[in-house]
Amino acid sequence: MKMLFLSDLHLGSPCFKAYSELLNLLYVDYDKIFIVGDLLDVWEQKPSDILLRNSMIIDRINELTNVVIIKGNHDPEIAELEKFFPQKEIYHEHEFNVDGKKIMIVHGDEFDDLIRKYSWLAKILFPIHWFLERVGINAKWFFRELFYSVSAKTNKKYYNYLVLDMEKELVNKYKND
C-alpha cells in the first residue's frame, strides 16, 4: 500500500513556499493520503483568503477520493473545514489497520507542553511574530536555534526532553490500544 503523509503545510502562512512541489505530490498515485494537521493556518489568514490564494491545491485535494484530514491547532474547527472539504473524512485523530497492525494518527499539539501551558504568551507574541515574518524574519526559527544551541552548550538537553515528554504522553494515552 502506497501512502503519503503530509503535516504542517500551513497554507496561508508566508513561510509556505512549496506550492508547486505540493501540487506535484498531489498528482502522484497513492492509495491513501493523510494530511496530519495544520493544512490551513487560520492564525495567519482567514480561511476564505487562504482558499482563494491556494485554490489549485484545495481543488486538487477535493478532486481526490483517498484523502483523510486530521485537524491541527492552526486549522479552523472541523465544521468549517468540512465546508471547504465537503467530501473528505476529517477527524481529531484517526485509526486504521495496515498488515494487521493498528495505526493511530494525531497531529500532536495536545501533547505539546509549550502550547498547553503558554498559549497565552503565544497570543501576546503573535502580532510581533506576524510582523517579523512579513518583513522576512523567521523569529521562531531563530529562537528555536538559540534555545537548542544554549541547551547543547550547557549539556542540558531541554529541547530533547521536551520532545521525549511529548512522546511519553502520546504513548501513555494510547498504550492500552
Residues 77-105 pLDDT 10s: 989 999 999 999 999 999 999 889 888 89
Whole-number pLDDT of residue 137: 75
Instruction: Record the pTM.
Output: 0.72
Residue type, 1: M
Whole-number pLDDT of residue 30: 96
Nearby residues of 130 by Cβ (< 8 Å), 6 or more positions away: 44
Low-confidence ranges of the chain (pLDDT < 70): 111-119, 122-123, 126, 140-167, 169-170, 177
Whole-number pLDDT of residue 115: 62
Whole-number pLDDT of residue 15: 77
Indicate the class that CATH gives domain 3-107.
Answer: alpha beta
Whole-number pLDDT of residue 17: 84
Task: Give the count of beta carbons closer than 10 Å to the beta carbon of residue 162.
Answer: 14
Whole-number pLDDT of residue 61: 96
Domain with CATH 3.60.21.10 in the chain: 3-107
Q: ∠113-118-120 over CA atoms, to 5°?
A: 150
Is the distance from CB of 33 to CB of 66 less than 8 angstroms?
yes
Q: In 3-state terms, what secondary structure has residue 125? A: helix
Q: Calculate Rg over the CA atoms of the chain.
A: 18
